[in-house]
Chains A and B, each alone.
Chain A
Amino acid sequence: MTAPIVSVRDLVVEFPLRRGLFTAVDGVSFDIMPGEILGVVGESGAGKSMTGSAIIGLIEPPGRIAKGEILLNGERIDNLPADQMSKLRGKRIGMVFQDPLTSLNPLYTVGQQLVETIRRHLPLSEAQARQRAIELLGEAGIPSPETRIDSYPHQFSGGMRQRVVIALALSAEPELIIADEPTSALDVSVQAQIIKVLKKLCEDRGAAVMLVTHDMGVIAETATRMIVMNKGKIVETGSVGDIINRPQEEYTIKLIDAIPSIKDETRRHDVPPAATPLVQVKNLSRDFDLSPGFFDRMFKGSRNSIVKAVQDVSFDIRKGSTYGLVGESGSGKSTCARMLVGLIRPTAGQVLLEGEDIWASGSGSQNRRKRVQMIFQDPYASLNPRWRVGDIIAEPMRALKLVSNKREAAERVADLLEKVRLDPISMRKFPHEFSGGQRQRIAIARALSSQPEFIVCDEPTSALDVSVQAQVLDLMRGLQDEFGLTYLLISHNLAVVRQMADDVGVMHNGVLVEQGEVDAIFDEPKVDYTRMLLNAVPDISKLA
């Protein structure tokens, strides 16, 4: 039997805070064998990233390892002095972080950064190191590495940059790689490629990998063994197949149940196909003028540059149904949403709400304000931090003069809070006193307060943990049935769309490439792009 590359024994990480001790990691033990990919999943605050930071010795003070030990090939590394620890990082432990934008220095070419790292750890000459850097970039899947090695980080796309980071992590032949959410900032199609690269490189080199992620799908496609963490403790350990197909612990069962799947065909309610369209989008286009500003134009002469964010998009949304709009980042789906709620004026085309153009002056925009609302992605940014929850929820009623006095408003707010399953006493608190999921409920209550018919939801759950996501989606569904709401659901998460939407449109580079009923699109996509998108999604159902 081979010895484990890394052993963590009874690790405890503590943060002394103002109000007492916070235990981020509580008695965690695991081993990683050579060539093995260990997946660590858990919701935010589960202590999974902190465990990774503890291994590489990068816990931010005042946090500290209070108990336990970490062994790298049998040597204790948790009590090494800082200078020896920093020699270990990069040389024996490689790191890949979430954001490829910030983990590369923008002022140096990727070649310079690779050569520097290689030469710091290996006794190679400049030319040899450069040769090795080219090989590494090639292995990480960067086309024509001989020429790309002299490019700067900003000349690479997000996915390519993450490949460079992986090459950098591998440059000194480390025994252990810690990858902290390596694909969470990337689009699904890029994510699939990165997972493949990471997996292949580790198999070839026999390095151990600790893959930290919140996405069970990524683990299902990559890892051999996995750990489920919750509140700093390990809930369950085992092979990936065992845990996903036969979870033992209650927490794991709940977590896996909450994950929507793109294969899931459970329909929620039937919308008669003949239902009249509530919203009609006709040949909608939007250009963005990226020309220089007033003074620059005066002094440098004008130079126009125009980006076509949305081009000639048309679709109908049936009354009482949910229309899903999917696409990767930059596909123009959020721009579409903003044109539908009246935040961005379309360059061309119309948005009709029961036949009335919402961009028509006067009655059109008044009509829109009454009947259209929006739910945003980030519940931390969509609620004014200086306002009390009661005022936030009452704002649409006040703006549209739907209530005459304070008492009436307070009663309505209490009513709405109960509808989104929050305690009415919450109206006197401030947004920071709530968790992400609770804040999203408050945002939903605000959207409902003007009694709209049509709600645009822009990535309503992508900032939330899966279990919270399931609750919020459930709530949205319940409210749809109760009030007969019509939703436009924008998401990059195809599984969420499959679960929620009746019809779906796929956007790519500002163009609507395919649309139709959800089941038809997901089961038999007609366009190559849609097929590629569906295949790229890491999904636990793909695990046999």
Chain B
Amino acid sequence: MSAQQPPSAPDVAKPRSLAYRIWDSDVFFSFRRSPVTIVAAIVTAVLVLAALLAPWIAPYNPFDPSSLNLMDGFTPPMSEAMMGNYFILGSDHQGRDVLSTILYGSRVSIFVGLSATLFAMALGISLGLVAGYVGGTADSVIMRIADVQLSFPAILIALLIFGVARGIIPPSRQESMAVYVLIVAIGLSNWAQFARTVRGATMVERQKDYVSAARIMGVHPLFILIRHVLPNVMAPVLVIATIGLALAIIEEATLSFLGVGVPPTQPSLGTLIRIGQQFLFSGEWWILFFPAVTLVLLALAVNLLGDWLRDALNPRLR
């Protein structure tokens, strides 16, 4: 989104460019008017960029055993360790730089959260579109499955899927597959919200005359669903996806905290918190504190963005 483009002089005859239409849209206008949202967007952008660029900006590689020194362990923040390394946010019990582990950890957290949300979205949107458009028995079956799904806590479902996966996958491959199992587990526990919302919106859209017009022309139902209905049901989906992203990141952290998430060789923010909480009461607070703050900031910022998006896309609040 090229926000820097200055609004050109309105020209009635000339259709406006995409960048101008985004800059000029009501949604973006409400963004410019909300300082909290701008801060949340900046925080999110900084955290995501830092995670993406971790291999280049992290002061140390915390997963390179050759660079670790147990003598550096438990160095407090902003101080120099015995072996001459300087740790801005301190080091953990194995002498790993906390800042670097956070950078690499958010990478895993954001990757898992994003992939899980995309997976839940793809599944939920397809099933919701079918349920809402076809209706009848297909609708009943899909939505009752969603109801059953929603009557369990999401974390329980994720644990269940994780357990089943562990039983199926041979132990030699478990570690490399762990991240993908996690994505599927979190995704499967979150698709129902998407399906419900999309189904409701689809039922509204399919009644509209532009769908009737396409049906009269004999347009294929799949084409109607994808080209006509889908773009018109995306607004509420984007809102749940943003809030769902924050939830997925927290869910991943919870699973990792419980020890069923990503393997310790590639720790996420949740793993770091689990490691840190062992040292909280012995005075090494920073090992827990900084990963936890990062997680809270990330989840809060994404949630605020979701809240804003919900208000901005709701015509009744405009």
Contact = CB atoms under 8 A, between A and B. Distances in A.
B148 interface: no
Contacts of B136: 293-294
Contacts of A369: 216-218
A449 B82 CA distance: 80
B216 A295 contact: no
A374 B212 contact: yes
B34 interface: no
B209 A343 contact: no
Contact of A341 (B208, B216, B231): B216
Contacts of A378: 209
Contacts of B219: 395, 399
Given A293-B140, A425-B15, A342 B210 contact: no
A446 B231 CA distance: 20
A425 B231 CA distance: 24
A336 to B, nearest CB: 15
Contacts of B180: none
B306 to A, nearest CB: 22
Nearest to B10: A19
Interface string A340-355: 0111000000000000
Interface string B1-27: 000000000000111000000000000
B212 A343 contact: yes
A295 B212 contact: no
A289 to B, nearest CB: 11
Contacts of B232: 384-386
B173 interface: no
Interface residues of B, number: 22
Nearest to A298: B140
Nearest to B212: A343
B216 A342 contact: yes
B168 interface: no
A365 interface: yes
A308 interface: no
B140 A374 contact: no
Interface in A342-389: 342-343, 365-366, 369, 372-374, 376-378, 381-386
Contact of A395 (B144, B208, B214): B214
Residue of B13, B29, B140 with most chain A CB atoms under a 10 A cut-off: B140
Given A369-B218, A385-B232, A294 B140 contact: yes
Contacts of A450: 217
Contacts of B208: 381-382
Contacts of B212: 338, 343, 374, 376, 382
A423 B14 CA distance: 12
A372 B216 contact: yes
A366 B144 CA distance: 37
B228 interface: yes
B213 interface: yes
Interface string A287-323: 0000001110000000000000000000000000000
Given A295-B140, A382-B210, A383-B210, A374 B216 contact: yes
A374 B211 CA distance: 12
7 contacts: A341-B216, A343-B215, A369-B216, A373-B216, A374-B216, A376-B213, A425-B15
Among all A-B residue pairs, the 6 with the closest Cβ atoms:
A382-B209, A376-B209, A386-B231, A428-B15, A369-B218, A399-B217
